[in-house]
């Protein structure tokens, strides 16, 4: 039994957790949910010894514990499978699995013993991997399995999963869930930090909701339907059911704003043909690696196409660089917004203006007043929550950061928006808000290409869903009204995975 | 077959470049006449400009100073750090050793040869170790980027050498140290610097590849946070690699002191660039987590070969810096290309990736 008793944590002047008390039962799978910044990851990190509480205490089986480092927690049987996958990418699987306690003879590494131990640890959780491969060459899913093997192999009886599925494809998630089920059967206590409600409902038996660093409620998962959890997380009722309006134009009765014909790039995708009309949202679904993001990169001129044509408003265009793409009215909201979409240290105003500097400049000198005026417009239009337009973007929450990234393109009045995973790492309420924003942009006549790994999102927010598999278009699914959502989702999933029966 | 050699492709590539360059210089450079003292007279020989005993020995000796330091630098770079102060440590160690030896008198009359050698070598090593340990301690304690710390100590150490020597070249010591370093196999063949270099490279290779603390160096260079969470002694490992790099510079200083019989505060000026370039050409990644001692040795050899080739091919010496700089960049680019190729060959097809 793990008990949090009045746990408080400050980071500098910021209060991440205040006076949190609740209990996790042995052998249960306990969900920690909350919006970004609610303190759920901090709580997991405290339990695993990554951070130390400022006040209050953590008790295990009635005895208070104080961990100075993750190793101390591990010695007490508590491990963490971390969001950022803490490994040395240059070292092999075997090296990483044994790093804290390398088998040796008089200071010389005993490679044979190391390989054997690594294989045993992987086999213990039912995984077979080449232990001599550098871990940096493995995919995220495999690396996570190595982390689980490390935790279990080190004798952990409690494993904290910190946002484990945030970077996994659907297939990798399913594999992870199988392993989780195995750990549950073996009686381990699992703490599942996440904001994906579907996986929580599927895996967890108990749920604790946090909001603004405070404990809101703990109870059996059965007593908490999705909308109740969301309400507790947000502190207010949230309408999750965002649907595109059904009177939106179909591709047949409007001229295609963007038309792509036979587009291909050697080694990543081939024969991609689709079009998006003004006011239309076309979803791009597919497993990670199916070529969705690669198409986006080519459209925005980050990579060159090797064949095919792109037409904008009926005219054939050649896109060789992002500048070319921008001239055609294209905008890309990249998957990795922190590295590719924003300059985190700079202000909201500067980020908003980044793609429109020529327009704001006179004699090639940017007018700061114009920059701020533009930022104020965008902050109002998109309801961006920020202390001021001069605040660094890094201080904003994930959802608001994403809005700034989008504002950058709206400020240019881009007519074709390519959105790559626009709601990744964004909390539930902000997600719904972004979905509404997408619908609003489409209604205002933008052509939107929405790439998403989340099936519900892509189906709910798009008029049509183009499904990619293995670098080709596997099919296009058009939804027949709101009632058709579940069936559409089924059809998309079948196309994604290549399963044709059933 | 390709899959099995793929991990070694980079080293193989480096050796191929070395051999190709030596071959071209040997052919283009043609023959030269050298003279050797034989039986009180001189005898003249026609020999290849590169492939003759004198030239190769010169190359090997000048390589050995750089290579020994490059092996040390490889450890620092593999741990994710950088040491710009090696050239200055080299100068301070050699100058300090020279001052101690001069104190023993020009003939060594006041001391036994053994004592003279021991005092000289021990001084150089001790100064090297002290400088390296100071670098490491400052990096760990002040949490300032090692580039800044060693940029500072680079100036400080050379400044101390200048103060100690009062800007003069220090000469006039007991002959014992020189007798050992310039131990002659006959015909002017001095193998000692070469042997020391090879020994240092082999010991360092074994340490990095097979010692637990060698693995720790790569772990810290690969991901310091992961290493910390695994409970590795980060501070101790960092201080150790800087200390070893300092010791290597001290050892190189002792060899140069013995070989040339003098030292000054200007010794080894600008060596840090050659040393770091040698380590990087030899496969060390400035991002940390990668590097090899034998590679560093070959990297040093390539750099010295370029310098030697400029002399042999009678290229205007004024161009040597320009050529050297260009070759360093080209070598690193080639290395990256080969590395990318090696990774592609090693990555198994997705089908059996599970």
Say which of A102, A129, A139 has its CB closest to residue B215. A102
B210 contacts A108? CB cut-off 8 A: yes
Counted across chains A and B, CB pairs separated by less than 8 A come out at 66
All structural domains of chain B, each given as residue ranges with its CATH number in brackets, are 51-346 (1.10.3470)
pLDDT value for B6: 64
Tell me what pLDDT residue A500 has.
Answer: 54
**HSE of B315 in the Cβ direction (CA atoms, 13 Å)?**
16
Query: pLDDT digit string (tens) for B267-310?
Result: 889 899 899 999 988 888 888 888 999 999 999 999 999 888 88
Q: Does B114 touch chain A (CB under 8 A)?
A: no
**Contact by Cβ (8 Å): B212, B233:** no
What is the average per-residue pLDDT within B178-191? Answer: 80
Distances from the Cα of B289 to the Cα of A90, B203, B209, angstroms: 6, 19, 12
Of B31, B35, B57, B131, the C-alpha closest to B308 is B57
Q: Is B344 on the interface with A (CB under 8 A)?
A: no
A3: left (phi over 0), alpha (psi -120 to 50) or beta: beta
Which residues, in sequence order, are CB contacts of A266 under 8 Å at separation 6+? A306
Contact assessment for residue A407 and residue A352, using Cβ atoms and an 8 Å cutoff: yes
* Residues of B with Cβ-Cβ distance to A175 under 8 angstroms: none
Residue A220 clears pLDDT 90, i.e. is over it = yes
| Residues B40-82 pLDDT 10s | 777 787 888 888 878 888 898 889 999 999 999 999 999 999 9
Average pLDDT of the residues in B190-219: 94
CA distance A123 to chain B (A): 13
The whole-angstrom distance between B349's CA and the closest CA on chain A is 12
Which of A90, A97, A150, A289 to probe the B interface (max B CBs under 10 A)?
A: A90
Mean of pLDDT over chain A: 85
CA distance A150 to chain B (A): 11
- Across A153-162, A363-372, B302-311, least confident range: A363-372
Which residues lie closer than 8 Å to B178 by C-beta, 6 or more apart? Answer: B258, B259, B261
Q: Measured between alpha carbons, how far is residue B97 from residues B211, B269, B345 in Å?
A: 31, 17, 50
Chain A's closest residue to B78, CA to CA, is A90
- pLDDT score at B211: 94
Contact between A330 and A418 under an 8 Å Cβ cutoff? The reply is yes
Q: Could you tell me the pLDDT band of residue A263, with boundaries at 50, 70 and 90?
A: very high
CA atoms of B117 and A182, how far apart (whole Å): 67
Sign of CA dihedral B201, B203, B208, B210: positive
- Between B212, B347, B354, which is nearest A109 by CB? B212
> What's the rounded mean pLDDT across residues A461-483?
84
Mean pLDDT of A225-243: 70
Return all residues near A399 (Cβ < 8 A) that are at least 6 apart. A36, A423, A426, A427, A429, A430, A431, A433, A434
Q: Is the CB of residue B256 less than 8 Å from the CB of residue B267?
A: yes
Q: Which residues from B are below 8 Å from A128, CB to CB?
A: 354
B349 inside 8 A of chain A by CB: no
pLDDT digits (tens, 9 = 90+) for B5-21: 666 777 788 888 888 88
pLDDT of residue B350: 39
Residues 6+ apart with CB under 8 A from B33: B44, B45, B46, B47
Task: Please state the rounded mean pLDDT for residues B122-139.
Answer: 97
Q: How many of the other CB atoms lie within 10 Å of CB of B179?
A: 14
- Give the tens place of pLDDT for each residue, A271-307: 999 999 998 999 998 877 788 889 999 999 999 999 9
Smallest CA-to-CA distance from B64 within B250, B192, B205, B185 is with B192
C-alpha–C-alpha distance, residues B226 and A334, integer Å:
28
Please give the helix or strand (H or E) that residue A432 lies within, else none.
Answer: helix A428-443
B232–A95 CB contact, under 8 Å = no
Which chain B positions have a beta carbon within 8 Å of A69's beta carbon?
228-229, 231
Contact partners, residue A490, CB within 8 Å, separation at least 6: none
- Best residue of A91, A171, A470 to probe chain B, by most B CBs closer than 10 Å: A91
Q: Give the angle A14-A15-A20 at the CA atoms, nearest 5°.
A: 165
Chain A nearest-CA distance from B284, in A, is: 12
Average per-residue pLDDT in chain B?
87
Identify the top-confidence range among A353-357, A446-450, B107-111, B326-330: A446-450
Other Cβ atoms less than 10 A from the Cβ of B51: the count is 14
Residue B145 is predicted with a pLDDT of 94
pLDDT at position A239, please?
56
pLDDT of residue B349: 42
The answer to whether A324 and A483 have CB atoms below 8 angstroms apart is: no
Lowest average pLDDT, out of A149-163, A481-495, B109-123, B147-161, goes to: A481-495
Say how far apart CA A240 and CA A251 lie, in whole Å.
27
When pLDDT is averaged across residues A350-360 and rounded to a whole number, the result is 85
User: Which residues of chain B from 250 to 309 reach within 8 Å of chain A, CB to CB?
Assistant: 289-290
Token representation of residue A180: 């989780």
Contacts of B215 in chain A (CB under 8 A): 91, 95, 99, 102, 109
Q: What whole-number distance in Å separates Cα of residue A291 and Cα of residue A210?
A: 37
Closest approach of chain A CAs to the CA of B151, in angstroms? 27
Count of CB atoms within 10 A of residue A69's CB? 16
What's the pLDDT score for residue B352? 32
| ipTM of the prediction | 0.82
SS (H, E, C) B109-148: CCCCHHHHHHHHHHHHHHHHHHHHHHHHHHHHHHCCCHHH
Cβ contact, residue pair A95, B215, below 8 Å? yes
As given in the structure block, the two tokens for residue A422 are 């626009």
Of A308-322, B127-141, B227-241, the range with the highest mean pLDDT is B127-141
* DSSP codes, B257-300: HHHHS-B-TTTTTTHHHHHHHHHHHTT--TTSS---HHHHHHHH
């Amino acid at each position: 039994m793990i008990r949090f008793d009045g746990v408080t944590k400050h980071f500098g002047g910021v209060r991440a957790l205040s006076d949190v008390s609740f209990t996790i039962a042995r052998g249960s799978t306990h969900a920690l949910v909350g919006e970004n910044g609610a303190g759920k990851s901090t709580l997991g990190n405290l339990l695993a010894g990554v951070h130390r509480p400022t006040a209050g205490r953590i008790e295990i089986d009635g005895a208070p514990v104080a961990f100075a480092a993750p190793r101390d927690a591990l010695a007490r049987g508590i491990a963490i499978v971390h969001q950022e996958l803490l490994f040395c990418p240059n070292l092999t699987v075997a090296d990483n699995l044994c790093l804290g306690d390398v088998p040796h003879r008089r200071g010389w590494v005993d490679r044979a013993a190391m390989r054997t131990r690594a294989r045993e640890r992987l086999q213990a959780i039912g995984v077979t991997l080449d232990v001599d491969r550098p871990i940096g060459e493995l995919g995220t899913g495999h690396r996570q399995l190595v982390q689980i093997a490390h935790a279990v192999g080190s004798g952990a009886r409690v494993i904290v999963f910190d946002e484990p599925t945030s970077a996994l494809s659907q297939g990798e998630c399913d594999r992870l869930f199988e392993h989780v089920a195995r750990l549950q059967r073996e009686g381990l206590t699992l703490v599942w930090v996440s904001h994906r409600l579907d996986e929580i409902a599927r895996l967890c038996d108990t749920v604790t909701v946090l909001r603004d660093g405070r404990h809101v409620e703990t109870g059996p998962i059965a007593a908490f339907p999705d909308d109740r959890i969301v309400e507790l997380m947000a502190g207010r009722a949230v309408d999750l059911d965002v649907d595109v309006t059904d009177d939106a134009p179909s591709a047949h009765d409007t001229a295609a704003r963007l038309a792509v014909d036979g587009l291909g790039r050697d080694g990543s995708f081939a024969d991609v043909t689709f079009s998006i009309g003004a006011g239309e949202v076309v979803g791009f679904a597919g497993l990670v690696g199916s070529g969705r993001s690669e198409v986006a990169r080519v459209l925005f001129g980050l990579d060159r196409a090797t064949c095919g044509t792109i037409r904008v408003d009926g005219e054939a265009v050649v896109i060789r660089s992002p500048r070319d793409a921008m001239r055609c009215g294209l905008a890309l909201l990249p998957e990795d917004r922190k590295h590719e979409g924003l300059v985190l240290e700079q202000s909201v105003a500067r980020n908003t203006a980044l793609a429109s500097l020529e327009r704001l400049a006179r004699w090639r000198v940017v007018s700061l007043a114009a920059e701020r005026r533009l930022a104020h417009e965008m902050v109002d239009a998109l309801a961006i929550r920020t202390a001021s337009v001069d605040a660094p973007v890094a201080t904003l929450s994930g959802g608001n950061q994403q809005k700034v990234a989008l504002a950058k393109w709206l400020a240019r009045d881009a007519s074709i928006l390519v959105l790559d995973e626009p709601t990744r790492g964004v909390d539930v309420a902000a997600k719904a808000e972004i979905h509404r924003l997408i619908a609003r942009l489409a209604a205002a006549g933008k052509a939107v290409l929405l790439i998403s790994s989340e099936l519900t999102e892509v189906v709910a927010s798009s008029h049509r869903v183009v499904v990619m598999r293995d670098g080709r278009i596997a099919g296009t699914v058009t939804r027949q009204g709101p009632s058709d959502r579940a069936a559409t989702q089924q059809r998309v999933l079948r196309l994604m995975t290549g399963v044709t029966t059933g | 077959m390709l899959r099995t050699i793929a991990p070694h492709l980079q080293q193989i590539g480096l050796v191929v470049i070395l051999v190709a360059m030596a071959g071209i210089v040997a052919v283009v450079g043609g023959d030269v006449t050298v003279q050797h003292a034989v039986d009180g007279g001189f005898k003249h020989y026609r020999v290849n400009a590169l492939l003759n005993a004198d030239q190769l020995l010169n190359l090997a000796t000048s390589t050995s100073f750089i290579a020994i330091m490059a092996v040390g630098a490889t450890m620092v770079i593999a741990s994710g750090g950088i040491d710009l102060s090696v050239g200055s440590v080299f100068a301070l160690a050699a100058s300090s050793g020279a001052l101690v030896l001069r104190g023993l008198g020009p003939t060594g009359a006041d001391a036994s040869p053994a004592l003279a050698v021991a005092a000289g070598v021990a001084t150089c090593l001790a100064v090297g170790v002290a400088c390296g340990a100071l670098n490491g301690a400052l990096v760990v304690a002040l949490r300032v980027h090692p580039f800044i710390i060693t940029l500072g100590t680079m100036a400080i150490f050379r400044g101390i050498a200048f103060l100690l020597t009062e800007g003069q070249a220090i000469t006039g010591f007991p002959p014992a140290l020189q007798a050992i370093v310039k131990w002659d196999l006959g015909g002017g063949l001095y193998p000692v610097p070469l042997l020391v270099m090879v020994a240092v490279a082999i010991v360092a290779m074994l340490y990095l590849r097979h010692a637990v603390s060698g693995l720790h160096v790569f772990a810290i260079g690969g991901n310091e946070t992961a290493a910390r969470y695994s409970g590795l002694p980060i501070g101790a490992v960092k201080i150790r690699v800087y200390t070893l790099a300092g010791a290597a510079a001290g050892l190189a200083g002792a060899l140069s002191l013995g070989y040339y019989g003098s030292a000054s505060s200007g010794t080894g000026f600008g060596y840090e660039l050659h040393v770091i370039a040698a380590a990087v050409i030899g496969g060390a990644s400035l991002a940390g987590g990668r590097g090899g001692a034998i590679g560093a040795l070959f990297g040093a050899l390539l750099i010295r070969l370029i310098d030697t080739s400029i002399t042999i091919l009678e290229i205007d010496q004024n161009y040597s810096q320009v050529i050297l700089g260009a070759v360093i960049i080209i070598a690193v680019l080639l290395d990256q290309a080969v590395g990318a190729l090696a990774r592609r060959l090693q990555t198994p097809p997705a089908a059996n990736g599970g």
